[in-house]
Chain A
Amino acid sequence: DAGVIQSPRHEVTEMGQEVTLRCKPISGHDYLFWYRQTMMRGLELLIYFNNNVPIDDSGMPEDRFSAKMPNASFSTLKIQPSEPRDSAVYFCATAEGNQPQHFGDGTRLSIL
């Protein structure tokens, strides 16, 4: 079975540009999570969805960040405008109910 698929794997862009990260969950998983990982703050939960509905976005750092899940097969995390402090690894993870979360390979984002 295919795991969680994230794209792109790496993204380098200049500050002020819009960045869109994509995630395809494991089929049948009803929960989807977006995390950010940095050396300073570790792994932080940004937002999660249940059955395509956002449940908790309290971890989203500011209004520049937005996330959508238009259907069960796709989610996006958008940063507009991007800033150098947004540089991090962004993970998407999915789960079926209370089963363990399975992570994608992450997107390494560098904002210059």
Chain B
Amino acid sequence: AQKITQTQPGMFVQEKEAVTLDCTYDTSDQSYGLFWYKQPSSGEMIFLIYQGSYDEQNATEGRYSLNFQKARKSANLVISASQLGDSAMYFCAMREGGQGYSTLTFGKGTMLLVSP
């Protein structure tokens, strides 16, 4: 089974609207972390936001927020007031386990296109 599932290959949104990018995860660990990265057409990977499994509040960073629903194992990224510069590929990733160090598992990504 895939550890990270991003079911939306592509999403379209108009400028200034909000958009939600879906991410579901699969783990049996109690302690884990969820990350979102942005990859614009120029190719770099940019860290956006992090949510720990024990965090009670949903993470927020500027226009980005993470809608964390633990029981449903979902960690959707919400971008408010979309801008043209938000057009990019978005990757959800998970790090499992609390003991020692563990690496990230990435989803396949969602391509977001913001239109004027």
Is the beta-carbon distance between A105 and B101 smaller than 8 angstroms?
Answer: no
Is the beta-carbon distance between B101 and A42 smaller than 8 angstroms?
Answer: no
A100-B47, A101-B47 known; A33 vs B91 contact (CB < 8 Å)? no
Report if A50 contacts B (CB, 8 A): yes
A31-B101, A42-B106 known; A106 vs B43 contact (CB < 8 Å)? yes
A45's partner among B43, B46, B47, B104 (CB-CB below 8 A) is B104
B44's partner among A33, A42, A56, A103 (CB-CB below 8 A) is A103
Interface residues of B in 13-33 (CB under 8 A from A): 33
Kindly state the separation between the CA atoms of A108 and B44 in the bound complex, as whole angstroms: 11
A31-B101, A50-B101, A100-B50 known; A42 vs B43 contact (CB < 8 Å)? no
Report if A98 contacts B (CB, 8 A): yes
Is the beta-carbon distance between A91 and B106 smaller than 8 angstroms?
Answer: no
Interface residues of B (CB under 8 A from A): 33, 35, 37, 42-47, 50, 91, 95, 101, 103-104, 106-109
Collect the chain B residues with CB atoms within 8 Å of residue A56's CB: 103
By DSSP majority rule, is chain A's interface helix, strand, loop, or mixed? strand
Is the beta-carbon distance between A93 and B45 smaller than 8 angstroms?
Answer: yes
A42-B109, A43-B91 known; A105 vs B104 contact (CB < 8 Å)? no
6 tightest A-B CB contacts, nearest first:
A103-B45, A43-B106, A105-B44, A100-B47, A106-B43, A42-B108
Give the nearest-CB partner of A50 in chain B: B101
Give the nearest-CB partner of B4 in chain A: A42
Collect the chain A residues with CB atoms within 8 Å of residue B107's CB: 42
Report if A78 contacts B (CB, 8 A): no
